[in-house]
């Protein structure tokens, strides 16, 4: 019970991250080109959703004062795993060399490559070993989200909602705006 109480955020994120795999796994066993294509579209959609969600945690903290670093960590891991799954399914469908044929594929590939070291260093030992460099490394997630938005923009997918949410999150992080929000909350 103590484990659950201490790690409830991780448990919730893990369930939310794994839940979509149940219906997806049903499609994986059905042969056909359309099913594989659908799998990589779904996996890409979940990758961008998780990335958008994890990058909204800091603005959420600024606005409401709610913070849980380890839930953010779990969400970042979910982001990386969904992105890697998306890329693997893409390779199965299209082949690895297809990655370099269009700018949108290259942007998605670079975003996924950026997420790999973030995934590997998303643990307490890495935080301890890398010290202040860990936070610098984790900031590469901003580059990954921009590349991911470029990836889906060039694919003509429904990218605008993600761009708006991420854009508002970046605006809220601007020190002048962040400080205005903080002083407003104090004066209220």
Per-residue model confidence as pLDDT tens digits over 63-76: 887 766 568 888 99
pLDDT at residue 100, rounded to an integer: 95
Per-residue model confidence as pLDDT tens digits over 134-172: 989 999 999 999 999 999 888 876 778 888 899 898 898
pLDDT at residue 107, rounded to an integer: 95
Burial of 6 (0-12, 13-18, 19+ CB in 10 A): exposed
Least confident of 99-103, 169-173, 178-182: 178-182
What's the alpha-carbon Rg for the chain, to the nearest Å?
18
3-state secondary structure of 20: coil
Return the closest-CA partner of residue 70 out of 59, 54, 81: 54
Confidence (pTM): 0.84
pLDDT at residue 133, rounded to an integer: 92
Query: How far is residue 16 from each of residues 11, 71, 110, 121, 156, measured CA to CA in Å?
Result: 9, 12, 26, 22, 27
Least confident of 5-9, 26-30, 166-170: 26-30
pLDDT at residue 185, rounded to an integer: 67
- Would the pLDDT of 111 be above 90? yes
Percent of all residues in the chain with a pLDDT value above 90, rounded to a whole number:
38
CA–CA separation, 15 vs 188, rounded Å? 37
Residue matched to tokens 């260093």: 121
- Would the pLDDT of 12 be above 60? yes
**Across 30-45, average pLDDT:** 75
Three-state SS for 37-91 is HHHHHHHHHHHHHHHHHHHCHHHHHHHHCCCCHHHHHHHHHHHHHHHHHHHHHHH
CA–CA separation, 121 vs 126, rounded Å? 5
Per-residue model confidence as pLDDT tens digits over 117-127: 999 998 889 98
User: Higher confidence at residue 187 or residue 89?
Assistant: 89
pLDDT at residue 38, rounded to an integer: 79
* Mean of the per-residue pLDDT values of the chain: 85
């Amino acid at each position: 019970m103590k484990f659950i109480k201490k790690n409830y955020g991780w448990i919730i994120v893990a369930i939310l991250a794994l839940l979509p795999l149940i219906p997806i796994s049903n499609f994986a066993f059905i042969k056909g080109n359309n099913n594989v294509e659908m799998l990589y579209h779904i996996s890409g959609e979940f990758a961008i959703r998780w990335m958008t969600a994890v990058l909204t945690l800091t603005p959420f903290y600024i606005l409401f004062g709610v913070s849980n670093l380890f839930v953010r960590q779990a969400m970042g891991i979910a982001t990386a795993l969904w992105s890697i799954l998306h890329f693997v399914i893409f390779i199965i469908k299209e082949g690895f060399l297809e990655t370099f044929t269009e700018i949108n594929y290259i942007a998605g590939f670079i975003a996924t490559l950026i997420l790999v070291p973030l995934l590997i260093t998303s643990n307490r030992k890495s935080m301890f070993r890398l010290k202040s460099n860990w936070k610098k490394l984790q900031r590469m997630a901003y580059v990954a989200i921009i590349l991911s938005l470029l990836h889906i923009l060039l694919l003509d997918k429904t990218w605008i909602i993600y761009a708006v949410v991420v854009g508002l999150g970046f605006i809220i992080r601007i020190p002048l705006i962040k400080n205005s929000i903080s002083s407003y909350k104090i004066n209220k």
